[in-house]
């Protein structure tokens, strides 16, 4: 697939690559760091681990078709694209679209998806040197979809520059809502107690009650970061991770080998909180971090013993206290969960963009998204009116 010419000395050539190991990791990561919103999840090591651990592969419904543009041997633009045979692990839900296709005797799967598998974290998706290269990647996604006879192409949790590129090609925009904690500026919170004091009285009271119940149950926490998370701790984490899925009669997306690769290749990006009772570990929560950017991401949790309110302590209060102590700017709580607002996380709009090959379905989806978008705007306005902080000045 020859990419459109760019205003540089040599035209770029686009390659479709089915194995991340065929892409130079240093070039990929270097391109990522040039973007406005890089995250650890777009690093070559993370995406490669998903592939080589058997977590995001053809057998699990993720067939890698990375789009990479080169000037000679230099990688100048790239994005992680996959042929998807289902809609699991995406967190932008299009089940109704798939059902509509099926009811009309049309095939919705496979579809083309540009996303980080199982990771609903907003950030740069189209790695490029400028706006024209981003548009080239969007055009290439559409052309590849047309060549393969696919129903659609989708770009998930992209940043503003990526969104602009998609809309320049008339892709349909969509919004969803997440909940993020933002540290106070210009003077960050000194400690968790100061953060707590900035909340409304009923919120402070509820958090204090929840923390007291955990403490009175005899639970204490230890925190482990980077290489201090040894193999035994990773084993315990995975046991808890599996138990969370088992409780919902489901199967984990990520294999144990994936986390072994994280321990080996990206240890500096992880923090583990372990809950212990009588010295015995009973639960844990795992954060991903970007230390230079001072951003933390809530990822996974699990327990082998039930304690009331332990989930809130492990997933919110311990991480927030750690973020405040470390001067972190932001803690992203992950997809969905209005209950997070009562713990100081506020609504943030996230983006996706979509192209459908069937004009009639594209028109119907465009009308639906316009109505949904108006509903999302109203929902966010309503949520912001329920600000959990005492005054906006506390932010």
Task: Give the length of the chain.
Answer: 395
CB 27 within 8 A of CB 33: no
pLDDT at 1 over 90: no
- 3-state SS, residue 192: helix
pLDDT tens per residue, range 325-368: 999 999 998 777 889 999 999 999 999 999 999 999 999 999 99
pLDDT at 321 over 90: yes
Mean pLDDT of the chain: 94
Whole-number Cα distances in Å, 142 to 42, 139, 159, 355: 22, 5, 19, 7
Decide if 13-177+349-385 and 184-328 have a common fold.
yes
Tokens in use for 21?
């190991």
Residue 356 pLDDT: 98
Q: What is the pTM of this model?
A: 0.94
Mean per-residue pLDDT, 91-101: 95
pLDDT tens per residue, range 207-255: 999 999 999 999 999 999 999 999 999 999 999 999 999 888 889 999 9
Q: What is the DSSP string of 372-394?
A: HHHHHHHHHHHHHHT--BS-GGG
Residue 166 pLDDT: 98
Nearest-angstrom CA–CA distance, 315 and 279: 20
**Residue whose C-alpha is closest to residue 4's, from 69, 82, 74, 78:** 69
| Residue percentage of the chain with pLDDT more than 90 | 93
Domain positions in the chain are 13-177+349-385, 184-328
Fold assignment, 13-177+349-385:
Aminopeptidase (3.40.630)
Nearest-angstrom CA–CA distance, 154 and 160: 15
pLDDT at 8 over 90: no
Q: What is the DSSP string of 21-49?
A: GGS-HHHHHHHHHTSSS--GGGSHHHHHH
Mean per-residue pLDDT, 68-85: 97
E-strand stretches of 85-218: 111-114, 127-128, 152-156, 172-182
Whole-number Cα distances in Å, 136 to 12, 42, 133, 160, 165: 10, 19, 5, 16, 9
CA atoms within a 13 Å half-sphere pointing along the CA-CB vector of 19: 3
| pLDDT confidence bin for 391, thresholds 50/70/90 | confident
Residue 15 pLDDT: 97
Sheet (strand 81-84) strand order: 62-64, 81-84, 111-114, 152-156, 346-356, 172-182, 330-335, 295-303, 280-290, 270-277, 219-225
The distance in angstroms from the start CA to the end CA of the chain is 49
Fold assignment, 184-328:
Aminopeptidase (3.40.630)
pLDDT tens per residue, range 136-187: 999 999 999 999 999 999 999 999 999 999 999 999 999 999 999 999 999 9
Whole-number Cα distances in Å, 238 to 198, 242, 245: 36, 6, 11
pLDDT at 102 over 70: yes
pLDDT at 11 over 70: no
Residue 334 pLDDT: 77
């Amino acid at each position: 697939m020859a990419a459109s010419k760019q205003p540089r000395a040599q035209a770029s050539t686009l390659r479709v690559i089915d194995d991340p190991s065929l892409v130079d990791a240093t070039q990929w990561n270097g391109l990522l760091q040039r973007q406005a919103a890089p995250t650890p999840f777009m690093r070559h090591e993370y995406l490669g681990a998903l592939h080589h651990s058997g977590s995001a592969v053809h057998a699990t419904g993720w067939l890698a078709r990375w789009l990479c543009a080169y000037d000679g041997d230099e990688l100048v633009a790239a994005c992680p694209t996959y042929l998807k045979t289902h809609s699991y692990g995406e967190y932008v839900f299009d089940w109704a679209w798939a059902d509509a296709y099926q009811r009309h005797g049309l095939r919705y799967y496979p579809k083309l998806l540009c996303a980080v598998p199982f990771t609903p974290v907003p950030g740069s998706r189209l790695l490029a040197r400028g706006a024209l290269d981003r548009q080239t990647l969007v055009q290439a996604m559409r052309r590849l979809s047309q060549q393969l006879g696919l129903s659609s192409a989708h770009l998930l949790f992209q940043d503003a520059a990526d969104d602009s590129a998609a809309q320049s090609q008339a892709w349909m925009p969509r919004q969803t809502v997440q909940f993020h904690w933002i540290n106070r500026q210009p003077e960050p919170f000194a400690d968790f107690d100061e953060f707590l004091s900035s909340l409304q009285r009923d919120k402070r009271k509820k958090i204090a009650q929840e923390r007291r119940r955990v403490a009175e149950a005899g639970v204490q926490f230890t925190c482990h970061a980077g290489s201090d998370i040894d193999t035994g701790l990773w084993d315990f984490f995975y046991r808890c991770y599996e138990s969370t899925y088992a409780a919902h009669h489901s199967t984990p997306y990520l294999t144990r080998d994936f986390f072994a690769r994280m321990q080996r290749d990206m240890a500096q990006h992880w923090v583990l909180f372990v809950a212990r009772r009588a010295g015995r570990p009973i639960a844990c929560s795992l954060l991903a971090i970007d230390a230079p950017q001072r951003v933390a991401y809530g990822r996974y949790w699990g327990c082998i013993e039930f304690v009331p309110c332990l989930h809130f302590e492990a997933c919110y209060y311990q991480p927030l206290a750690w973020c405040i102590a470390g001067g972190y700017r932001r803690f992203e709580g992950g997809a969905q969960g209005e209950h997070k607002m009562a713990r100081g996380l506020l609504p943030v709009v996230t983006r996706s963009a979509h192209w459908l090959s069937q004009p009639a379905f594209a028109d119907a989806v465009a009308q639906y998204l316009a109505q949904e978008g108006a509903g999302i705007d109203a929902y966010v306005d309503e949520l912001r009116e329920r600000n959990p902080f005492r005054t906006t000045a506390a932010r």
